[in-house]
Structure 1
Amino acid sequence: MKPTIALVGRPNVGKSTLFNRLTKTRDALVADQPGLTRDRHYGHGKVGEKPYLVIDTGGFEPVIDEGIMFEMAKQTLQAIDEADAIVFIVDGRNGLTPQDKMIANRLRQGDRPVWVAVNKIEGMNSAIMTAEFHEFGLGDPVAISASHGEGVRHLINEILEGFPDQEPEEEPTHPKFAIVGRPNVGKSTLVNAILGEDRVIAFDQPGTTRDSVAIDFERNGSNYTVIDTAGVRRRGKVTDMIEKFSVIKTMQAIEDCNVVILVLDATQDVSDQDGKIAGFVLESGRALVVAINKWEAADLEQRETIKRDIARKLAFLDFAKFHNISALQGSGVGDLFGSINQAYDAAMIKIPTPKLTRALQLAMERQQPPLAGKIRPKMRYAHQGGSNPPVVIIHGNALEAVHASYWRYLEHFFIKTFKLQGTPLRVQFKKNDNPFEGKEAPQRGRRGPQAAKNALKRR
C-alpha cells in the first residue's frame, strides 16, 4: 500500500508549493497569502518505482480555539493521524518562531516519523539556514526550495527509504470492484442486493459504514470481490474521530480494485463532491460503472434533473456505462454485472504490438498531428505498456511537440478502435534516441589542407 505523507506547518511556509512539486501538478492553490489552503488536499506522487500519497493541509495554529483557523487546525490534526510520515515545513528566511516550537512539541507526542524541511533557502547557505532548527529535536533538518525544487528529491528519497518497496501486484484472476459515493446514497444496500443477503449494515443515516469491507462471492459461476466503502463527505464536514479515516480508506480501496461502481442518488442533484469522487477514479485510471440509485423514488422532474446534471457535470465519464437501479427493490442490479465484466475485460486487455501500430497509422492517416512551428511530430510504432488502465506507448521523433488535443484524439481513437467500453486509456510518448547526438558530424564534401595539396600533386 502506498505510504501517505502529510505536509504540516504554519500558514504561508510553502506547503502547497511543495505539494505541487511532489505531485507534479498545480492542484493546490499557491499565492503569497496566508490561509489560502483550508481543507485537506490529497494527491499522488512517484519517485522512480516508488509511489506515494501526499496530503496538503492548511496553516496550523495550535493556540487558536475558535473560528476558521481552529477548523483548519482540526483538519491538520486529522491529516497527521492519517499519515505514515510527516513533513514539518518551516520558513528558513523567517527563522524559528514560537508557533514552530508549539507545532514541534505536538509532533513529538505522536508516533509518526517527522522530517523538518527548511524551505525558501534558494541563494542562501544551507548550513546556516538550518542550524537553529536542530532545537526541535526531530532529527537533522533538510534544506529545500519548494518553488525551485532544490533539495526536494533528496527529501522524498530520504522519507521513502523507511518504507519497503512495493511488490509487483499479481494479475487479478477475477473482477474486484469497489462501490463508492457520497454518504447515504445506498452503497451498503446495493452490496446486500448484489450478495442476496444482509451482509453489511444498511441504515438510513449517513456514516453507518466506517471502514472498507471486502467480500468474495460467486455469481453465475464467476468469482467476484466487492468492496463496500464509507461515504466520502466534503472534507470540511468530516469531524467524527473515527470517520476521519474514511476518505483515505476509500481512496485506497479505489486503487486496490479493478472496477469502481460510482453510486449516485436519483432524488438529489449531482453535487461537486460526486464530481470530485469521479475525478479521483479517473485520475487513478480505474474502470468505471455508474449506478443511479433510488430511481423508483425519483419523480419525473428529478429524473430529468439528474440526466441534465450528468450530461453537464460528468461529461468526462463518457467512457463509462450508466445504469438506473433500485438497490432497495433489486431492480436493475443484475444488469450491472454485464458492465462490470465488460469494463474489467477492457481494463485488463492485452493488445499485440502489430495491431496497435496499425491502429496508430490509421489514426494518423485520418488526422495528422498538427505542426509545432516548422516541425511535425513523427510517430513510428506503438506497443502496450501496462494494464488497469491500458497504457499505449508511442515511439517517434519530436513527440514533445504533440498538442494536448491530439493526445486526447489518440486516446479516444484507441478506445473506439479496440472497443474498450468502461475503462480510461493512457497514451505515453517516448522519443527515439538519436545515436549521433553529442557527436561531431562527419565532414562530407570538404577537404583539409593536406588533402588539397595531394590532389594538386596528382594533377
Structure 2
Amino acid sequence: MTEESLEGLDGTWSDEAEWAEFDEVSAPEDAAPPVPQPVLAVVGRPNVGKSTLVNRLLGRREAVVQDTPGVTRDRVAYDALWNGRRFTVVDTGGWEPDAKGLMASVAAQAELAMHTADAVLLVVDARVGATETEEAVARVLRRSKRPVLLAANKVDDQRGDADVHSLWSLGLGEPMPISALHGRGSGDLLDAVLAAFPETPREVFGASGGPRRVALVGKPNVGKSSLLNKLTGEERSVVHDVAGTTVDPVDSLVELDGEVWRFVDTAGLRKRVKTASGTEYYASLRTKAAIEAAEVAIVLIDGSEPLSEQDLRVITMVVEAGRALVIAYNKWDLVDDDRRRQLEKEIDRELVRVRWAERVNVSAKTGRAVAKLAPTLRTALDSWDTRVPTGRLNGWLSELVAANPPPVRGGRQPKILFATQAQTRPPTFVLFTTGFLEAGYRRFLERKLRETFGFVGSPVRISVRVRERKAAKGGRR
C-alpha cells in the first residue's frame, strides 16, 4: 500500500496517534456543544487591591494597577487556568452603593458582573476592616444565589492574621487571609474558587430559555436610542440631537414577533478605542464589552448619508468578536431614489466582506419595517448555532477539493487531509493539511461553505493546522 493511499479525505491515516489528535478537535455529531467557562466576579470598594489580586490569580500582569483609587472603571474579563481547569475572571471597578456620576456607572457595572457570574469574590482590606460599604455589599451578596468567597487582602505576614477575624461579622463565611502583592494564600484561594463553581456555568446563551441578547451599535447620532424607544414603546433611552447622548449601555426587554429579546443600547463609537479619551474612552470600552456579551448585534447605519469609516469600524468590531450580525439602514424615510442607487454602490464597494450579513431598511421615526428585525435576528442566530456533521463536511470537502485543488505553494501542492467543525457561536472549522493554504483559497472555501450550508448572518472562521509529512518508518515507501 502506498503512502498516498494512507492520507486523504477518505478517512484513512497511517498513524493512530494523529487520529487521536483529530478526535480532540472534532466532536461527534451527537455530542453536546463545548461547555462554557465558569465566571468569577472580583468585587469590592475602591483601592482594596482587586486588580492586583486579579493579576495574581491569572499568574500574569493583565489588569492595570495604580495607587490611585478608581483606576478600573469597567468590568474586564480575563481567561485563567488553575489545576487544569479554565475559568474567566472579571475585574470590576470599585463599588460604592451611594456613588454619583461616573462612579455610579462603575458601580452598576460591578453589580451587573455579580449578577452574571457563577461565583463572587469579595475583596476587603484587612488592615481597614469591614466598612459601611462592605456591609452594604455583604447584604446584597447574602441575598444572591451565587457562591460568595471573602478575601481579606493585604495580610502580608502572620502578624496580620489577627485583623482577619473581625470580618466574620459580614456573614459571608470564613474570610481567607491573602496578600495579592506577595502571593500569600493565593493557591488556597484558587482551590476554594474552583470548589465554589457549579458543575456547569449558569449563564449559557439560549439554554435556559431566557431572552437572547442583542447589542444595538453604531456611530453617534444614527438613531440607536430612537429605535430602541420605538421598539419598547416608551422613552427608554434619552434622545437628543446632540451626538453622543448615550454613554452607558441601556438594557431593555423588547417583545418582537411574539418573542422577548434583551436589547442593549450602546454609546456611539466615534473614534478608535485606543485614541479616545476621557468619558468617550470608557464609553467605547463599555460598547465593546456589550458586543462581546451579546449574541447578535444590530449595526445601525444612517441610510441618508454616505457610509463612513466609523460604520465600517463598528461592523469590523462585531465580526472580530464573532457575533451574529444584522445591518439596519435607518432613516429610510429620508432616502430617495438617487440616494438608494448610490447606497447600493457603496454597499457593493465597501461591504463586500460582509455580504453574508442580513440587511433591513428601517425608520426609527416612523416605525417602518421594524417588525422585520425579529425574523432577521432569528436567521442570524440560527446560523450562529449551526453545526455541520463531520461526515457530511468531509464528503462535501472531498468533492470540492477534487474539482478545485489548493494552489501550489513552494513547489508543492498542499493536501487537505481532514476537516471538522470545532465549535459553533460562531461556526469555526479546522482543516488539517500538509501545507499552508493561501488566504484567497480560504476565502474560496468560506464562500463555498456558505453556498452549501447557509450561515446567513453569521461570521465563519476557518483555521488551518499544517501537518508536516513524517519520514518513512523502517524504510517503508
TM-score category by the smaller chain?
0.5 to 0.7
Q: CA deviation at 1:346?
A: 3.1
Partner of 2:164: helix, strand, or coil?
helix
**Aligned counterpart for 1:43 among listed residues 70, 77, 87:** 77
Please say if 1:366 is aligned against 2:409: no
Residues 88 and 341 of structure 1: CA distance in aligned 2, closer, same or farther (over 3 Å): closer
Name the residue aligned to 1:325.
362
Larger RCO, structures 1/2 (Cα 8 Å, 6+ apart): 2
How far apart in 1 are the matches of 2:201 and 2:212?
Answer: 25
Please say if 1:424 is aligned against 2:464: no
Any unmatched runs of 5+ in structure 1?
Answer: 218-223, 239-245, 371-376, 433-441, 446-459
Please tell me whether the aligned partners of residues 264 and 291 of structure 1 are also in contact (alpha carbons under 8 angstroms). Answer: yes
Please say if 1:353 is aligned against 2:384: no
**Aligned counterpart for 1:388 among listed residues 407, 422, 425:** 425
Q: CA deviation at 1:334?
A: 7.5
Name the residue aligned to 2:216.
180
Name the residue aligned to 2:141.
111
Please say if 1:88 is aligned against 2:122: yes
Name the residue aligned to 1:293.
330
- CA deviation map 1:252-276 (0-9, x unaligned): 9834xxx442334557997989967
Please tell me whether the aligned partners of residues 391 and 428 of structure 1 are also in contact (alpha carbons under 8 angstroms). Answer: yes
Q: CA deviation at 1:418?
A: 0.8
Q: Identical aligned pairs, as a percentage?
A: 20
Please tell me whether the aligned partners of residues 8 and 76 of structure 1 are also in contact (alpha carbons under 8 angstroms). Answer: no
Q: Kindly provide the amino acid, as one letter, of the partner of residue 136 in structure 1.
A: L
Name the residue aligned to 2:167.
136
How far apart in 2 are the matches of 1:318 and 1:33?
Answer: 48
Q: CA deviation at 1:5?
A: 2.0
Partner of 1:229: helix, strand, or coil?
strand
Partner of 2:261: helix, strand, or coil?
strand
- CA deviation map 1:7-63 (0-9, x unaligned): 3354382517727966x998x653555458342134375889999875433456x69
Partner of 1:136: helix, strand, or coil?
helix
Q: Kindly provide the amino acid, as one letter, of the partner of residue 417 in structure 1.
A: K
**Aligned counterpart for 2:104 among listed residues 69, 74, 86:** 74
Please say if 1:11 is aligned against 2:44: no
Residues 211 and 425 of structure 1: CA distance in aligned 2, closer, same or farther (over 3 Å): same
**Aligned counterpart for 1:156 among listed residues 190, 193, 215:** 193
Please tell me whether the aligned partners of residues 323 and 332 of structure 1 are also in contact (alpha carbons under 8 angstroms). Answer: yes
Q: CA deviation at 1:133?
A: 3.0
Deviates more, 1:37-46 or 1:265-274: 265-274
Residues 50 and 334 of structure 1: CA distance in aligned 2, closer, same or farther (over 3 Å): farther
Please tell me whether the aligned partners of residues 29 and 36 of structure 1 are also in contact (alpha carbons under 8 angstroms). Answer: no
Please tell me whether the aligned partners of residues 250 and 266 of structure 2 are also in contact (alpha carbons under 8 angstroms). Answer: no
Deviates more, 1:155-164 or 1:384-393: 155-164
Residues 14 and 385 of structure 1: CA distance in aligned 2, closer, same or farther (over 3 Å): same
How far apart in 1 are the matches of 2:81 and 2:438?
Answer: 24
How far apart in 1 are the matches of 2:72 and 2:287?
Answer: 16
How far apart in 2 are the matches of 1:349 and 1:260?
Answer: 18
- CA deviation map 1:112-133 (0-9, x unaligned): 5643336699xx87x7776643
Please tell me whether the aligned partners of residues 3 and 163 of structure 1 are also in contact (alpha carbons under 8 angstroms). Answer: no
Name the residue aligned to 1:201.
234
* TM-score (structure 2 length as normaliser): 0.54
Q: Kindly provide the amino acid, as one letter, of the partner of residue 234 in structure 2.
A: I
Please tell me whether the aligned partners of residues 188 and 200 of structure 1 are also in contact (alpha carbons under 8 angstroms). Answer: no
How far apart in 2 are the matches of 1:86 and 1:346?
Answer: 34
- CA deviation map 1:76-130 (0-9, x unaligned): 432443323542346xxxx843387565344334335643336699xx87x7776
Q: CA deviation at 1:383?
A: 1.6
Residues 334 and 232 of structure 1: CA distance in aligned 2, closer, same or farther (over 3 Å): closer
Q: Kindly provide the amino acid, as one letter, of the partner of residue 81 in structure 1.
A: E
How far apart in 2 are the matches of 1:52 and 1:351?
Answer: 27
Residues 281 and 97 of structure 1: CA distance in aligned 2, closer, same or farther (over 3 Å): farther
- CA deviation map 1:383-420 (0-9, x unaligned): 224433223245689xxxx99xx798887554322113
Structure 2 matches for 1:220-299, cutoff 5 A?
225=259, 227=261, 229-233=263-267, 254-255=294-295, 259-265=296-302, 279=317, 283=321, 285-297=322-334
Residues 87 and 145 of structure 1: CA distance in aligned 2, closer, same or farther (over 3 Å): same
Residues 282 and 152 of structure 1: CA distance in aligned 2, closer, same or farther (over 3 Å): farther
Aligned residues: 383
